[in-house]
Amino acid sequence: MAKKRDGGGLSTTQRTARFLGVSVLAGAVLAGIALPAAGALGLAAKGSVEGFDEIPANLKTPPLSQRTTIQDADGNEIAKVYSRDRTVVSLKNMSPYIQQAIVAIEDARFYQHGAIDVKGILRALNKNAQSGGVSQGASTLTQQYVKNVFVEEAGDDPDKVAQATQQTIGRKVKELKYAIQIEKELGKRKILQNYLNITFFGEQAYGVEAAAQRYFSKHAKDLNLEESALLAGIVQSPSRYDPVNDLQEATRRRNTVLQRMADLKNITQEQADAAAKKPIKLAISRPKNGCITATDGAGFFCDYIRKVFLSDRTFGKSRKSRLKRWDQGGLTIRTTLDRQTQKSIQASIGKHVYEDDPVATAATIVEPGTGKILGMGQSRPYGFRGNQTMLNLSVDHDMGGGAGYQPGSTFKPVIAAAALEQGTSPEQEYPSPYRMPYPSPVQTCDGEWHGSSADVTQNENRKEVGPYAMKEATAKSVNTYFVQLISDMGICPAVKMAQKMGIERADGKPLQQVPSMTLGVQEMSPLTMAAGYAAFANGGEYCSPVAIESITDARGRALKVPRTSCRTAMSKKTADTINTLLKGVVEDGTGKEAGLKGRDSAGKTGTTDSRYAAWFVGYTPNAAGAVWVGDPQHQRKMYNITIGGVPHDKVYGADTPGPIWRDAMTGALAGRPAPVLPTVPIDDPDKDKASGDDKGNGKHKPGRGHGGDNKPGGGWHLPGWPDILGGGNGGW
């Protein structure tokens, strides 16, 4: 039999079912009894209604996501980061106008009805039946609040958001039951406060405080009548009524709210008319979200803070839980960043390397004894455009950096420290020819390394021939000296020393146990090298880098934060001896361009094969810093290159990283104490004792040089090189 239809296109059966559905639903909720699992409405399966009583009794309300503020060590703001721009405030910090306006336009009977508004449902039912569609809803503010809670809990997961907003009777029933709970537990004022803090006002603003700041650059408590009406009107459709994009439509909606407020006697008709005549005056504050807004070039440090939070178990057992807590926000994070140091790093970088140069630089300074990261900067700005990058050139791969960069000769002090710890004297001499093969075999931690005739190393300068003792070899950065040193000592002590100093590969892989490690051929990050060298300044004690001083949540409660972990890497005597060696580098060696005026300092230059990278790593008693210059992609060799407007035939650690380090440290330490580095005396062997006479004797010690002409010499013996170093044509 054909169904009778009315003028609206609905059959009598459909009208009746719709009426019964809403009426039964309302009645069931009001009575607090179970809906049938199935029946005339066909409501079965979990997506609909299996039973009102089967819905969990308690609504789990997630904490509202808010802005997190990242500060420097003195409490100055570095940046604000958030998944949702929101600042939770109490009703007393919201204008009475916004409270009245939102109730007037969204739920005029809010203070008269319970969790649901039966009159509103019947009115909407009648209106919708007449229109043949859904032209009017009947959700109360409490129900809307519950729906927003579902959306908030869904976060940025599109599937969960769709589930939280789907138009099904099942979801509606859940919403209604939780609304009953909320009405009993919170009361009207708390519900209104929560609603105004959770709801979306468009333009990335969640909650009325963020909305007031976004549209009018003022606090929610200072909103006037017409501003309040505008914001209240936006809620129904944030895109349609956005005053930034459609001022005319937003004005009409604002005036509708004003009239509604007058009808409800919140304001007089005269007030409504006067306010409606006023043009909308916006004072837009654009969103300032994320590390890209960080001051003093601290965007990469800001991003490093996020990486620390997401990787450290102090903030949660799993990455998922840590990410959820980060996205929730509402944190105030006080970091270790020292503003003076950060400004000085950026000023020095800007002076010596331009952001559009073919190579880049990165610099990090830490505090010996505490591990605090005082500054972190680079020449390529934080961002997505042009010469900008999101790659933090100062840190390891798993903390937002790349694969790292070969530190070159800046690794040699690690070898020297390991040798000293093994009992090697700093006066130990090696012949140190310009070029030589790697001695073989060499002991490793779990066996032996065996080389071949192709494994050859050489010094930077052909004039660099020994013999040398440790101090002069360090000052001149003599490769062949340190190859012999690690070969005699064995590789394992060097590996263990590096580990104790926190010096690991940037890619997270274990150090390769090969003699060439003494030349710094395995990739490291500037932060790693700075923290490692800080152990020399700190009497041999290494302290792991830390970036966070304290964290408080939105309620002002302190959260536990990770602390530095300090350990003895070497004896104080060894550390003081290294100080002596590395002071010689900046006073008389390759690092003279990095020396600080009026302040004790020590350090080491480093340049890799093919000039892919150049370094200077150095320290004072109260700051240790590392500077790297090179191509992040490991493609551009630094020959015939202009950096910071200065042309270079070849780039050395001394001529570019050294001055960057000098200027950065000078500014960072200006006005601060200048303690003295503890050192130990090291006697230099006579420089001419290696000269041989025609009898095969050194001038002071027999056998210390090449043999004279036609005389067997008592000189040094190197495997594979007996004819060159065992006697021959004249002495050194």
pLDDT at residue number 41: 34
* C-alpha closest to that of 376 among 732, 78, 60: 78
CA distance linking residue 414 with residue 421, whole number of Å: 11
In this structure, what token pair is assigned to residue 263?
């009808």
Q: How many other C-beta atoms can be found within 10 angstroms of the C-beta atom of residue 597?
A: 7
Helix (H, G, I), strand (E, B) or coil at 569: coil
Instruction: Report CA torsion sign: 675, 680, 685, 686.
Output: positive
- pTM of the full predicted structure? 0.78
Question: What is the distance, to the nearest Å, from the Cα of residue 130 to the centroid of all Cα atoms in its chain?
Answer: 57
pLDDT at residue number 123: 61
Q: What is the CA radius of gyration of the chain?
A: 36
Tell me which of 66-75, 129-138, 216-225, 547-556 is least confident: 129-138
* Confidence at 472, pLDDT banded by 50, 70, 90: very high
The answer to whether 417 and 538 have CB atoms below 8 angstroms apart is no
pLDDT at residue number 454: 83
Question: What is the distance, to the nearest Å, from the Cα of residue 84 to the centroid of all Cα atoms in its chain?
Answer: 18
* C-alpha closest to that of 405 among 255, 614, 710: 614
CA distance linking residue 17 with residue 35, whole number of Å: 15
Residue pLDDT, tens place only, 292-306: 999 899 999 999 999
Tell me which of 114-118, 506-510, 706-710 is least confident: 706-710
Residue pLDDT, tens place only, 501-527: 999 999 999 999 999 999 999 999 999
In this structure, what token pair is assigned to residue 217?
């650059």
The answer to whether 574 and 580 have CB atoms below 8 angstroms apart is no
**Rounded to the nearest 10 degrees, how much is the dihedral formed by the CA atoms of 650, 656, 659, 663?**
170
Residue pLDDT, tens place only, 423-463: 999 999 999 999 999 999 999 999 999 988 788 999 988 88
The answer to whether 231 and 201 have CB atoms below 8 angstroms apart is yes
Residue pLDDT, tens place only, 372-411: 999 999 999 998 888 899 999 999 999 999 889 999 999 9
Query: Residues near 69 by Cβ (< 8 Å), separated by ≥ 6?
Result: 77, 79, 80, 331, 332, 333
* C-alpha closest to that of 479 among 438, 442, 525, 534: 438
Q: How far is CA 390 from CA 174, 251, 293, 304, in A?
A: 43, 41, 13, 11
Peptide bond into 441 cis (omega under 30): yes
Q: How far is CA 526 from CA 627, 652, 668, in A?
A: 6, 17, 17
Average of pLDDT values for 670-674? Answer: 95
Tell me which of 265-269, 356-360, 472-476, 693-697 is least confident: 693-697
In this structure, what token pair is assigned to residue 246?
């459609």
Residue pLDDT, tens place only, 124-155: 555 555 555 444 445 889 989 988 888 887 77
Q: Which helix (H) or strand (E) holds 218?
A: none
Q: Domains plus CATH for the chain?
A: 85-277 (1.10.3810.10)
CB neighbour class for 347 (10 Å; exposed up to 12, middle 13-18, buried from 19): middle
In this structure, what token pair is assigned to residue 38?
């199935």
Helix (H, G, I), strand (E, B) or coil at 481: helix
* C-alpha closest to that of 345 among 300, 408, 399, 291: 300
The answer to whether 438 and 456 have CB atoms below 8 angstroms apart is yes
In this structure, what token pair is assigned to residue 511?
């150090």
Q: How many other C-beta atoms can be found within 10 angstroms of the C-beta atom of residue 71?
A: 17
pLDDT at residue number 426: 96
Average of pLDDT values for 72-89? Answer: 92
Angle at 56 between CA 55 and CA 58, to 5 degrees: 135
Whether 700 has a pLDDT exceeding 50, the answer reads no
Whether 209 has a pLDDT exceeding 90, the answer reads yes
pLDDT at residue number 625: 98
* Confidence at 660, pLDDT banded by 50, 70, 90: very high
* Confidence at 729, pLDDT banded by 50, 70, 90: very low
Average of pLDDT values for 67-92? Answer: 93
Angle at 658 between CA 656 and CA 661, to 5 degrees: 110
